[in-house]
Amino acid sequence: MIHDQANYEREGEDVREPLLSEKGQETVDVREDSPLPDDLTREELTLPNPSEPETARHYTRLSQMNWAIDAGPYPLGSCTMKYNPKFTEDVAADPNAAIHPDRSARSAQGNLELQYRLQEVLAEIGGMDAVTLQPPAGAAGELTGILVAKAYHEHHGNDRSEVVIPASAHGTNFATAATAGYDVVELPSGEDGRVDLEALEAAVGDDTAALMLTNPNTVGLFERDITEIAEVVHDAGGLLYYDGANLNALLGRGRPGDMGFDVMHYNVHKTFATPHGGGGPGAGPVGVVDELAPFLPTPRVREAAEGSGYERFEPAHTIGKVHGFAGNWLVSIKAYAYVARLGDEGLADAAAKAVLNANYLAERIDLDVPFGPFHHEFAATAGDRDAADVAKRMLDFGVHPPTTKWPEMVPEAMLTEPTEIEGQSSLDDLAEAFNLAYADTDEALDAAPNRTAAGRIDQVGAARNPRLSWQALDGE
């Protein structure tokens, strides 16, 4: 397939759709009409003031210059770009759900009920005992989980200082552990791409607060030794944290709770198909086993005394809060609607088709895939080609390329996760894009992309000379 992306360009001026500021700004004398004394107010405010038709056109054009899952395949590995069912938007737009978080529990029974229901289904799916919906994204879920683990250890008089993380883990795992005040112990990958038990044993000890793991891992391999891994960590008094980013591969076939994980986050903008929105909002609910439940953020929601609905409560040893209010509520609603739509069968089928798709696509491409058997994603290697260049060239063929150059254990990695939503023909399109790009000349790769709104962008220059606002462009 060939895709020309829409473009609106002003040739002489070397800009595409002009900035709102370039279309016209207005300066308001703030003090003129102000009910406040002058010393409390600013003098003036200068902002764009487009009319509604101009606003509509501006953002319509911008949107047309943006790739999306509704335009075509978007197989970013580790990102689980699923189709976002439209009806979930309508459910979330219910004005009755649009209430203030400080409502009394009595007057917010509807929201509490939905929160409770979502907590329950998530606990079931993850094999966990208790769930909080508060964390507003996966990384926030990680922080919540690690803080819960920390509180648990401290509560038991255990001062542990390290979190063990496989080298192939997502950057948020490392950053989270650091944010929580832990030292990071990086675990080198085993030769088969999985955790090396010996290396784990060497890394784990009295200082180990937790091991953070995702399973299948970031190249799609199931950690077959998960029972042994759990034993090693638990024996040392550590806890097992499950990074839920890859849960889509396990739905209905394995539950972190059953594998020995003590705490996990769910990445609902991946597994449960809530829209990524160009980088959020997401939601990262956290599930824990019973022993950790008293440490979860406050408030949680539970059934109240019989027949009296739902109530909020503060867990006995709560870590406090990880979001000012109840997290990304609209996202919670969409996740609930998605899970309800699929049910047991649909969830299991989602996993099956996600794994089928990854395997089929890997079969169809000319690039090597060093590790296996993989599940919902695989890391192909671009070999002696630059993975980033191959990716740029793929853009010309009507698909979005995979995640590139990560994880590092695969050289020139192209981490690919088609998810269950692609059919055979779009997987064939993807494979063709891979193969055409991979086989193309160096010159073609250098010159790519050619059919996108913008040509290859100078990212080094952007960082060297940061211009981060239209104010910074002024006078250019």
Partner 1 sequence: MSRANGTPYAPHTDDETAAMLAAIGVDDEEALFDIPEAVAFDGEFGIEPRTEREIRDECARIFGRNDDLTEFLGRGHYGHYVPSVVDHLADRAEFLTSYTQYQPEVSQGFLQALFEYQSMLVELTGLDVANCSMYDAATALGEAATLADRVRSTAGDTVLVPEQLREGKRAVLENYCAGADLTVETYPMADGTADVDALADRAGEDVVMLYAESPTVRGCIEERLAAIGDLADETDALFALGSDVVALSVLESPAAVGADVVVGEAGSLGLPTAYGMGLGIFACSDEFLRQVPGRLVGASEDADGARAYTLTLQTREQHIRKERATSNICTNQAWVALRAAIHAATLGPDGLVDLANDSVREAAALAERIDDLSGAAAPVHDRHHFREFAVRVDQPAEAIAADLEGEGFAVHAIDDHLLQVCVTDLNAGETDGLVAAFEEVL
Ligand X SMILES: Cc1ncc(COP(=O)(O)O)c(C=O)c1O
Summarize as ranges the residues that interact with ligand X (CB under 6 A): 78-79, 137-139, 170, 172, 214, 218, 243, 245, 267, 282, 284
Q: What is the rounded CA–CA span in Å between residue 21 and residue 47?
A: 7
Q: Which does 214 bind (CB under 5 to 8 A by kind): partner 1, ligand X, its own copies, none?
A: ligand X
What are the beta bridge partners of residue 48?
A: 25
Q: What is the rounded CA–CA span in Å between residue 201 and residue 222?
A: 19
Q: Which residue in 26, 38, 43, 70 binds its own copies (CB under 8 A)?
A: 70
Task: State the nearest-atom distance from the C-beta of 46 to ligand X, in Å.
Answer: 34
Q: Which residue in 36, 39, 51, 171 binds its own copies (CB under 8 A)?
A: 51
Q: Which does 4 bind (CB under 5 to 8 A by kind): partner 1, ligand X, its own copies, none?
A: its own copies
Structure tokens at 178: 């650091």
Could you tell me the CA-to-CA distances from 51 to 17, 56, 62, 362 in Å, in that order?
Answer: 16, 9, 17, 50
Cis peptide before 75, with omega less than 30 degrees from 0? no
Total residues in contact with its own copies, by rule CB under 8 A: 33
Q: What is the rounded CA–CA span in Å between residue 427 and residue 361?
A: 6
The three-class DSSP label of residue 313 is: strand
The C-alpha torsion from 206 through 178 and 138 to 245, rounded to 10°, is -60
Which of the residues 117 through 156 are near partner 1 (CB under 8 A)?
A: 117, 121, 124-125, 127, 136-140, 142-143, 147
Which of the residues 257 through 296 are near partner 1 (CB under 8 A)?
A: 258-260, 269, 273, 275-282
Task: State the nearest-atom distance from the C-beta of 320 to ligand X, in Å.
Answer: 20
Q: Which residue in 45, 56, 439, 462 binds its own copies (CB under 8 A)?
A: 56
Task: State the nearest-atom distance from the C-beta of 388 to ligand X, in Å.
Answer: 18
Q: Which does 398 bind (CB under 5 to 8 A by kind): its own copies, ligand X, partner 1, none?
A: its own copies
Q: What is the rounded CA–CA span in Å between residue 210 and residue 214?
A: 13
Residue with tokens 């058997």: 373
Q: At what angle do helices 424-439 and 329-364 cross, to 10 degrees?
A: 60
Question: 452: closest CA among 119, 67, 161?
Answer: 67
Which of the residues 400 through 429 are near its own copies (CB under 8 A)?
A: 421, 423, 425
9 contacts its own copies (rule: CB under 8 A): yes
Q: Which residue in 207, 327, 365, 430 binds partner 1 (CB under 8 A)?
A: 327
Q: Which residue in 187, 238, 255, 311 binds partner 1 (CB under 8 A)?
A: 255
The three-class DSSP label of residue 165 is: strand
Q: What is the rounded CA–CA span in Å between residue 122 and residue 363?
A: 33
Sequence letter at residue 196:
D
Near partner 1 by CB under 8 A, which window of 52-60, 206-214, 378-386, 432-440? Answer: 52-60
Contact residues toward its own copies (CB under 8 A) are 1-11, 23, 51-54, 56-57, 60-61, 64, 68, 70-72, 83, 85-86, 398, 421, 423, 425, 453
